[in-house]
A and B are shown apart, each in its own frame.
Chain A
Amino acid sequence: MATPSTDAKRGTIDLAILATLEHQARYGLEILTEVQRATSGSLTFKEGSLYPALHRLVKQGWVETSWEESDSGGAPRKYYELTDDGRRALERKRQEWRSVRDAMEVFLNMRGAA
């Protein structure tokens, strides 16, 4: 059984990946770069953990893959793209995240005021 910290970490990575793929298909390194750019480097994780997370999302049917030629002329890359289920999962996770964030803000503000 996974520990809560592992679940939380996994949930964060999954949400970040799904959000990164919301508007376009991307390959692994591109996803990493986009996450770091969008969060100004605040959200980092070992690059190796990206691929098991991507495989997990594929297995859940939220993401599908395709090998495509590199536009820069290099080796072909494996691109990841959201499925319809993936979009619904992203929306659900986004709402969950906001609920938690709002609840924590209220809680911490109350504690700060006390």
Chain B
Amino acid sequence: MSPVDQYIRRATTGLPNRARLDTAAELRVHLNERTRQYMDQGFDRSEAEHLAVEQMGPAEPVNRSFLGHVFTPRVGWVVLVLLVLGSGGWLAANYLFAPAPLVRTVAVEAEELLPYIGDFQMLQVTAPKGTKTLYFAVTQGEEEASLSVINLEYDYADLRPNQRASIRFGVGFLNSALAMIECGSGSRVLATFRGTQSRSEMCLPVPSTNGSWAFLMQNGGDNVMVHDEWQPMLLFRPTVMVTELLPGQFANWSTPEGHAVDAPRDTWFVVSVFATTVPITEDFTVPAYPKVSDVVRQYRWLEPQLPDVRLTGEH
């Protein structure tokens, strides 16, 4: 391609077809005439063309002026590629690879332990997309004991599209010296808390704070959260000390002082989670919370660990 052709192509690229042809023809007439003038001065054609093009100056500013803005095709392509990459990155960051909605047990962090000295467990719930309200329920035996509500529309209003509300929720027995309420004999202070700021306390007729927690996991892994369905997560079995074992009763452990056995099942309690797309401001009645019998029925794998289930429940 001759220097003249190159110059014309670079100076007119990006123009609408009609304007491009008209401008190219005009530039070609100009360059040919200049070339002829240089050839008349003794230059050969290639030298004359080179000088004619040099006389025109750089083609890019001319092209920008023709286009009426700074975006020459090359700059335009670079900007377009950057925009596509940037948009793609933003879309990926905000709409793809969202975390799976699930609820799982997690290790308790030391700073979350500080205000609480007792026997407790913690849940981390990543709410499904669209969740507006989250409920945590505690059931003791077959009785509904407490219900905590979290308004995600308010507490997590500024989440990006691929972010999900992820909430740590703890439950356990407070040392009575740290409790704000006082419970009668035979009852213990059960606290539910979110982070270190939100905490509520209630008295539960639980014979002992010694006991064991069971994680109610499906297939031994995380529980998948779905809307409008209670998901039992934790089971607590209190322990009582007896001096002698009754017939059919099994000891969890024995010491010179006696035998530790599971307390009656009506003192066990279950912590469950419920997510819904119904805003907290609308009338909504959550379904009945899972009871201990529901959990034992659902999680048959508990039975080998609960030798007294048959004693207290289903014989």
Contact = CB atoms under 8 A, between A and B. Distances in A.
Interface string B52-86: 00011111011001100000000000000000000
A3 to B, nearest CB: 13
B56 A78 contact: no
B23 A51 contact: yes
A48 B29 contact: no
A55 B23 contact: yes
A100 B27 CA distance: 34
Contacts of A103: none
Interface stretch (A14-22, A69-77, A83-91, A106-114): A69-77
Given A29-B34, A55-B66, A78-B29, A48 B23 contact: no
B65 A28 contact: no
Contacts of B27: 51
What is the predominant secondary structure among interface residues of chain B facing chain A?
helix
Given A29-B34, A76-B29, A48 B58 contact: yes
Nearest to B36: A74
What is the predominant secondary structure among interface residues of chain A facing chain B?
helix
A49 interface: yes
A52 B26 CA distance: 12
A23 interface: no
Interface of A: 27-29, 46-49, 51-53, 55-56, 74-78
Contacts of A55: 23, 65-66
Given A78-B26, A78-B29, A48 B57 contact: yes
Interface of B: 11, 22-23, 25-30, 32-34, 55-59, 61-62, 65-66
A56 B22 CA distance: 15
Contacts of B61: 48-49
Contact of B32 (A46, A52, A56, A75): A75
Contact of A47 (B23, B29, B32, B55): B55
Most buried by B among A51, A53, A76, A77: A51
A57 to B, nearest CB: 12
B33 A29 contact: yes
A51 B62 contact: yes
A52 B15 CA distance: 12
A75 B30 CA distance: 10
A46 B58 CA distance: 9
